[in-house]
Amino acid sequence: MWAFVFKRTLIALSVAFTISVLCFSLLQLSGDLALSIGGPEATAEQVEQIRVEYGLDRPVLEQFTTWLWGAVQLDFGRSYYYQSEVMDLVVERLPVTMTLGILALAIALGVSIPLGVVAALKRGSWIDRMAMAIAVTGQAMPNFWFGLTLIIVFAVKLQWFPAAGSDSWQGFVLPAVALGYYATPAMMRLTRSGMLEVLEADYIRTARAKGLHTGTVIFKHALRNAVIPVVALAAVELGFMLGGSVVIETVFSLRGLGQLAWNAISRNDYPVVQAIVLIIALFYIVLTLLADILNAVLDPRLRAR
């Protein structure tokens, strides 16, 4: 088990380093950063002063090592626009994005797993067809359009929840539903296919032949093995939600990392963009690593790979 964890950790570290290189390189290739910071009206002397002030006149390799060492210490420099430490901005906005992502994942799991189990048990029935229709609709529907629809129905018409803001838990309900529904179809289909495969296994037939209660066979024996791939997908989906919350946070005016990233991109605030991209990527890597370890705990066969 420890050899498996060590191997997966090395892979995760190598991926993290590769992402840091790409994160730094893409912004370097986007053009003259000093000119972008100074704006179109900046003179040549002002652009050169900015280049020296931000260390952009140094060799690229030296800039990267300095930036990477600062990132390891959670020091991403100062924001060009907000004129404050980048990490302070991230720490201020991160709880909103994490809350939104966790709630959205909880909603997705709470809907997809029961629906997938029922669809597998009632294969070919109207319940199965309804579940597949929900899956197709969820993948075809843009989440920003679904979010706007929720605002119109539940905030404007019914006035059950606020249309924007994160001052109370009610403000997270609609955006969490909009973000979670987008991840529901994939996990529901995976649960359904896993259950269909497991229910045909020999050990399930043996358990039924022993006279075990149907609930015991389904939830203790079948679901435990069918849900293993869903665990890995859930970790991936949570990372996707954290990184893809830009649209939802903008639609619902949530002061999270997504909205901060959007503002930073529109204002050429490169230190903030680099920090958010790297932090979200690290969350994604850590979640994937934890999912691999949890899968290995649930299925010992994976430890030999």
140-165 pLDDT, tens digit per residue, is 777 778 888 888 888 888 888 887 76
DSSP 8-state secondary structure symbol assigned to residue 124: T
Which candidate, 104, 99, 243, places its Cα nearest to that of 180? 104
Q: What are phi and psi of 78, to 5 degrees?
A: -110, 150
Cα angle 206, 211, 215 (rounded to 5 degrees) comes to 90
In this model, does residue 244 exceed pLDDT 70?
no
Q: How many other C-beta atoms can be found within 10 angstroms of the C-beta atom of residue 255?
A: 16
The answer to whether the beta carbons of residues 115 and 187 sit under 8 Å apart is no
Question: Between these two residues, 299 and 225, which has the higher pLDDT value?
Answer: 225
Can you give the CATH number for the domain in which 150 is found? 1.10.3720.10
What per-residue string of b and e applies to 141-177 under the rule 16 or more CB within 10 Å gives b? Answer: eebeebbeebbeebbeeeeebbbeebeeeebbbbbbb
In a domain, 2, yes or no: no
Domain containing 185 equals 95-268
Q: What are the angstrom distances between the C-alpha of 12 and each of 230, 242, 292? A: 20, 18, 11
The answer to whether the beta carbons of residues 66 and 50 sit under 8 Å apart is no
Residue 258 in tokens: 């997504």
The answer to whether the beta carbons of residues 272 and 88 sit under 8 Å apart is no
In a domain, 1, yes or no: no
The Cα–Cα gap between 79 and 82 comes to 5
75 backbone φψ class: left, alpha, beta (φ>0; ψ -120 to 50): beta
Q: Which residues on adjacent β-strands are paired with residue 78?
A: 85
pTM (predicted TM-score):
0.77
Domain count, the chain: 1
Question: What separation, in Å, do the N-terminal and C-terminal C-alpha atoms of the chain show?
Answer: 11
Least confidently predicted of 29-43, 61-75, 97-111, 192-206: 29-43
Q: What are phi and psi of 162, to 5 degrees?
A: -70, 150
Question: Between these two residues, 216 and 67, which has the higher pLDDT value?
Answer: 67
Residue the block writes with tokens 């919350």? 245
In a domain, 248, yes or no: yes
Which candidate, 70, 1, 91, places its Cα nearest to that of 292? 1
In a domain, 224, yes or no: yes
In a domain, 255, yes or no: yes
The Cα–Cα gap between 55 and 28 comes to 13
In a domain, 249, yes or no: yes
**Per-residue pLDDT at 32:** 63
pLDDT (tens digit per residue) in 171-217: 788 888 888 888 888 888 888 887 877 777 766 667 667 666 666 66
In a domain, 258, yes or no: yes
In a domain, 53, yes or no: no
What confidence tier does 226 reach under pLDDT thresholds 50, 70, 90?
Answer: confident
Q: Which residues on adjacent β-strands are paired with residue 48?
A: none
